């Protein structure tokens, strides 16, 4: 499926991407707080939707 090097690259890329997005969000929220009211609800919705997709994949592969 993936080589060991590809998995390491993917993991490091994901971690760096999340860190950059976090700091960018933090700075934007400080500058424009009105646009970020309730943004946690959208993040929660994405996490739930992704969880359902993973659950469906796990249940249908058996």
pTM metric for this prediction: 0.62
Residues 6+ apart with CB under 8 A from 36: 25, 28, 29
Of the chain, the end-to-end C-alpha distance in Å amounts to 19
What is the reported pLDDT for 4?
Answer: 93
- Concatenating the DSSP letter of every residue in 3-60 gives -HHHHHHHHHHHHHHHHHHHHHHHHHHHH-GGGGTTHHHHHHHHHHHHHHHHHHHHHH
For 26-53, what is the mean pLDDT?
A: 89
Percent of the chain with pLDDT over 90: 61
């Amino acid at each position: 499926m993936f080589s060991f090097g590809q998995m390491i690259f993917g993991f490091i890329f994901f971690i760096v991407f999340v860190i950059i997005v976090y700091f960018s969000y933090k700075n934007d929220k400080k500058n424009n707080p009105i646009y970020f009211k309730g943004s946690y609800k959208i993040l929660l919705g994405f996490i739930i939707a992704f969880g359902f997709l993973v659950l469906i994949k796990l249940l249908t592969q058996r």
